[in-house]
Amino acid sequence: MRGVDIRIDKQIPMGGGLGGGSSDAATVLLALNYLWQLGASQAELQALALPLGADVPVFVSGQNAFAEGVGEALSPVNLPAAWYLIIHPGVAVPTAGIFKSKDLRRDTPLINPSRWSAALDRGVGANDLEAVASMLYPEVAQALGWLRDQP
């Protein structure tokens, strides 16, 4: 029987919405597959990853992707190089709480993954989770407001 002891020194704040825990889970699956020479395919690892979290499969893939369903249907996308500013509003936002909210929109029109970037350029599409997170956590709304006020 194989076993493993894992210790993680996490530097990303819990509940920060940056996928730190999901990335850790995917890395463990990939590492054990390699170390134990299991030979599991990417698809097999992604199937194992999904019950661990909706965004774990994208971290197994190791590339930018448009995710559909609950995170299991991935279409690779090419993204231009970009700079990102990360702000921690001083509050943890549990993803499960956002998805359970009665205020979360569930009627957003689908976007074709191959036309995703062009749709965003035309102002089509939005982050449906943002409104709920802002409503439940005023600190998030304040941070987003500050960002929108920047040039």
Kindly indicate the confidence band of residue 55, based on its pLDDT and cuts at 50, 70 and 90: confident
Q: Answer whether 77's CB lies under 8 Å from 5's CB.
A: no
Kindly indicate the confidence band of residue 132, based on its pLDDT and cuts at 50, 70 and 90: very high
pTM for this prediction: 0.70
Task: With a cut of 80, say whether residue 5 has pLDDT above it.
Answer: yes
- Confidence at residue 131, expressed as pLDDT on a 0 to 100 scale: 93
Handedness of CA 47, 53, 58, 60 (dihedral sign): negative
- Confidence at residue 16, expressed as pLDDT on a 0 to 100 scale: 61
- Confidence at residue 142, expressed as pLDDT on a 0 to 100 scale: 97
- Confidence at residue 119, expressed as pLDDT on a 0 to 100 scale: 63
- Confidence at residue 38, expressed as pLDDT on a 0 to 100 scale: 94
Place of tokens 């530097």: 11
Task: With a cut of 90, say whether residue 2 has pLDDT above it.
Answer: no
Phi, psi (degrees; rounded to nearest 5) at 146: -60, -45
- Confidence at residue 76, expressed as pLDDT on a 0 to 100 scale: 87
Model confidence pLDDT, tens digit, residues 30-41: 999 999 999 999
Pairwise CA distance, residues 55 & 23, whole Å = 8
- Confidence at residue 121, expressed as pLDDT on a 0 to 100 scale: 63
| pLDDT > 90: percent of the chain | 37
Kindly indicate the confidence band of residue 15, based on its pLDDT and cuts at 50, 70 and 90: low
Dig out the tokens for 22 from the structure: 């999901």
